[in-house]
Amino acid sequence: MGATVLRWLGRADYEPTWRAMQRFVDERSPGTPDEVWFLEHPPVFTLGMNARPEHLLAPGDIPVVQIDRGGQVTYHGPGQLVVYPLVDLDRARLGVRALVEGIERAIVATVAEWGIEAVGRRDAPGVYVGSRKLASVGLRIRKGQSYHGLALNVAMDLEPFHRINPCGHAGLEMTQVSELGGPAGLGAVADALAPRLLAALGLEPAPQSATSTWRQAVSSL
């Protein structure tokens, strides 16, 4: 199957990152290793392909970007760990449902390390603690390749979520790792999540990604 490369992108603007994912899918060959990108975005609302405009309540000065993933509207901002698995699903022998459930299982297992009891939901993809949402999942599959991914709230300003109906659900409350007893640092959460995500998706890390050194330098797109 080949080893999977982990990349730490630091804080990266949304649209150039999205375009870079599209290029990666367009240009990869059957032998191209899978990659998983870890990063955070400046404040932005993103609308999925089927997003209804009425779920965008009052964006104010935060940019709004219409994109090509599934799902409705969500918010990205500093203090949220965003992870983009760029995976050849045929090679990994993963269906779309298995990919979504693997992402959810990895998040649940990660936050359990800090005593947080979370669950995935079949009726509304993502990870929840009680009635509050901790992480969102939104994907695009093109040419058998996945892109977009997950957004895990770590230590961020949750106020912009009140300007939307998150993922199309009016009144849905959000929560985050740091408020539930977990760490506030994105690096600590990324280090805990990365091996669990690879294991949940049946992926092997590349040698440089098998230890915590993968985050020591910010990768360029």
Mean pLDDT by 10 residues, the chain (221 residues): 89 97 96 96 92 86 92 94 97 95 98 98 91 96 96 97 85 95 97 96 82 80 79
pLDDT at 209: 65
- Active-site residues, by number, are 167
On whether the CB atoms of residues 207 and 5 are closer than 8 A, the answer is no
pLDDT at 211: 63
pTM, two decimals, is 0.95
pLDDT at 71: 83
pLDDT at 1: 55
Looking only at the bridges linking them, the beta strands covering 73-76 and 119-120 are unpaired
Domain 3-210 = CATH 3.50.50.60: no
